[in-house]
Amino acid sequence: MDILELHPITLRLFKQGHPWILKDEYTVRFPKGKEILHIKEKKTGEELGWFLHDPQHPRIKARFLTKQMKGLESYIKQTLKASIEKRNKDYQRENIYLCFGEVDGLPGLLIQKLKDHILIQYQAFVWEKYLPLITKELKSKNIWIQRRIPGEQKQTPFGPDDSEPVFTLKEYGIDYKIVLNQYHDIGIYTDMASIRKEIDPLFENVKRVLNLFSYTGAFSLQGLSHGTEATSVDLSGKYMAWLEENVEMNGWSDRHTSIVKSCAKVLKENKEQYDLVVSDPPSFSSDGKKRESAQDFYKKNWAELWKAVAPKGKLIVFLNTHKVPRKKFRALIQPLLKGGKIIKDLGLSEDCPRVKGFPESDYLKGLVIQK
């Protein structure tokens, strides 16, 4: 057992449910060369459990695994098996998370099933050693790996390089083009799938949808699947071309309009109104001249954004960062509302649940606003 002194704040947060030990003046005294730490807190004498040790990580030095353990390899096998079995249900989609890191007791390890492909993403260096064990347990011929830590990489095949990197998967009856081994992202955000399911009724009986920061078009496609007309706006011509492929593949090109331009500029020039407007900005975006946070976008462009919403229409706004708590996001939006009311909070669920006491697991938040 490693008898270690922890920062008082670290200990307090751990007792509240936070699973990380962050770099501080105490972690520099952690023993070197150990993959896991069995920690007993020095001052209190309290046994905290087993932690995944990650001295190479610049910020997160240890992540909580479990209270009791007989061996790391057997723990990985048993926990991964339980995580997969827990998701043995019909999600009505071909993209699900088989493992969602800390939520499933395998901190820093994310595993997505993408039709007949598996994508393993890891955020802790120590998982590199155990990739052969993990891939063996997954029993798939089409496995891809992506490091999501400093020095992060695009997806690469694990084993023989004969897995098809471009394919189509279906989510709630809609086809999406997936591309591996070319970009940082793959063409769909699986963690948002449960949110798309939750808001699907909002697209019913809607004539016109405006999708800002559209990426590859999930919300546009969702509207089009209900027979709406959809307008997609994104600064990236690359992603807009990808979006248009998705629209054409589903047979809805005649009801879709693409605009490759800054969302702020489009809103300033806009003279139309839409029954449903969706705004999902990245945490930070850049037009090549300046860098802007999602919060700044809302503050600067709210009047134009709100004007684009038709009378009795709805606006869905998202924020994708754990650094702004849910209450603070609501507090940011609430004063901006004039003739509007927040009617729903949105967050991760289903295969990507949130963990109490762990704000990093509640990074994605949304609000549905009725005009």
CATH class of 2-66: mainly beta
Contact 106, 122 (CB under 8 A): no
Tell the CATH topology of 189-370: Rossmann fold (3.40.50)
pLDDT score, position 292: 75
Round to whole Å and give the CA distance between 166 and 168: 7
Tell the CATH topology of 72-161: Transcription Regulator spoIIAA (3.30.750)
Confidence at 258, pLDDT banded by 50, 70, 90: very high
Strand order through the sheet with 274-279 = 256-260, 229-234, 208-212, 274-279, 309-320, 364-370, 341-347
* SS3 of residue 237 by DSSP: helix
Q: Which residues 6+ apart lie within 8 Å of 289 measured at CB?
A: none
Residues of the chain with CATH 3.40.50.150: 189-370
pLDDT of 70 strictly over 80: yes
Residue type, 34: K
pLDDT score, position 166: 96
Of residues 174 and 164, the one with the higher pLDDT is: 174
pLDDT of 164 strictly over 90: no
pLDDT in tens, 215-254: 999 999 999 999 999 999 999 999 999 999 999 999 999 9
Which H, E and C letters describe 292-359, residue by residue? EEHHHHHHHHHHHHHHCEEEEEEEEEEEECCCCCHHHHHHHHHHHCCCCEEEEEEECCCCCCCCCCCH
Instruction: Calculate mean pLDDT across residues 359-367.
Output: 96
pLDDT in tens, 128-144: 999 999 999 998 989 99
Confidence at 290, pLDDT banded by 50, 70, 90: low
> Is the entire prediction scored with pTM above 0.85?
yes
Residues of the chain with CATH 2.30.130: 2-66
Confidence at 1, pLDDT banded by 50, 70, 90: confident
Q: What is the overall mean pLDDT for the chain?
A: 94
Phi-psi group of 347: left, alpha or beta (phi > 0 → left; psi -120 to 50 → alpha; rest → beta): beta
Confidence at 163, pLDDT banded by 50, 70, 90: confident
- Strand locations in 42-172, DSSP E? 47-53, 60-66, 95-100, 109-114, 117-122, 143-147, 156-157, 166-171
pLDDT score, position 338: 84
* SS3 of residue 14 by DSSP: helix
